[in-house]
Amino acid sequence: MKKIIIASTSTLYNGAYLDYLLPELRIHFKEVKELIFIPFARPGGISYDEYTAKVSSFFANLNIQVKGIHEFENPKQAIANAQALFTGGGNTFVLVDMLYKYDLFESIAESVSKGVPYLGTSAGSNICGLTMGTTNDMPIVCPPSFKTLGLVSFNINPHYLDPVEGSTHMGETRETRINEFHCYNPQAVLGLREGSWLEVIGDTITLKGNLTARLFQQGKEPIELESGTDLSNLK
């Protein structure tokens, strides 16, 4: 049975790393002794070792040992044997490029479909959608494709941001960008605000956290979804 957490962000304003998700993660990773971390997104360009150490220090709270995927000679095998998986945030283009380089998309999707619990935050959540086409990141490297894991049948926009009232900036708002996405792509886009996450248990997808999320569908006005909404049939 699939067990996935797709979080908008790893960290809340004034919060510590993953802290707001701690109660959920205790349940999500209950039986887990060892977790494989995918540090490829490298936020701020930090090294895989540094990033893995940060994650390791958090998971010590749950008595879970963390190994970075870069520490394995055969990453595909490591994914296949994993007890649990976590893909951290950073730059989605860099993350997707590396996952293609190591040819890991299929391996991850397969493990997750077999019930290996998965956690994604930010870029690691973006790749749970059909494509990375609704990332907010800068295209600092060019991956061979924007196709991603498709663990859910729609796209994720993490760190969803409402238009800033009274802004004099002429660049596009997030909503404008997602509407432009729908000129070229049919799938729904879920704007997840910082503090929201999706919980996937088997075939059931539920919006969690204290906030509403903004749903964009091609040819329709966007709507706000209450926490607790069942998104299992969203496409």
Contact between 222 and a copy of itself by CB under 8 A: the answer reads no
Helix 105-113 and helix 92-101: axis angle, to 10°? 90
* Rounded-to-integer distance, Cα 164 and Cα 116, Å: 39
The active-site residue out of 8, 111, 125, 159 is: 159
CB of residue 169 vs a copy of itself: minimum separation in angstroms? 6
Site for a copy of itself in 133-162 (CB under 8 A): 133-142, 145-146, 159, 161
Site for a copy of itself in 104-133 (CB under 8 A): 132-133
In the residue annotation, 47 being an active-site residue is answered as no
Contact between 11 and a copy of itself by CB under 8 A: the answer reads yes
- Choosing from 74, 113, 176, 204, the residue that interacts with a copy of itself (CB under 8 A) is 176
* Rounded-to-integer distance, Cα 164 and Cα 119, Å: 30
Contact between 13 and a copy of itself by CB under 8 A: the answer reads yes
Which of 2/174 has CB closer to a copy of itself?
174
The active-site residue out of 122, 153, 167, 169 is: 122
Residue with tokens 């994914």: 79
Of the candidates 214, 47, 28, 184, which has an alpha carbon nearest to the alpha carbon of residue 121? 28
- Choosing from 168, 203, 210, 219, the residue that interacts with a copy of itself (CB under 8 A) is 168
**How far from 219 is each of 186, 216, 225, CA to CA, in Å?**
9, 9, 18
DSSP H or E segment with residue 58: helix 48-59
CB 109 within 8 A of CB 200: no
What tokens does 95 get?
């993350």
CB of residue 141 vs a copy of itself: minimum separation in angstroms? 5
Which of 9/52 has CB closer to a copy of itself?
9
**How far from 198 is each of 107, 124, 129, 144, 176, CA to CA, in Å?**
22, 13, 12, 28, 23
Which amino acid is it at 151? Answer: L
Query: Which residues have a catalytic role annotated?
Result: 122, 137, 159
Question: Using CB under 8 A as the criterion, which residues of the chain lie in contact with a copy of itself when the complex forms?
Answer: 9, 11-14, 42-45, 90-91, 93-94, 132-142, 145-146, 159, 161, 164, 168-172, 176-185, 194
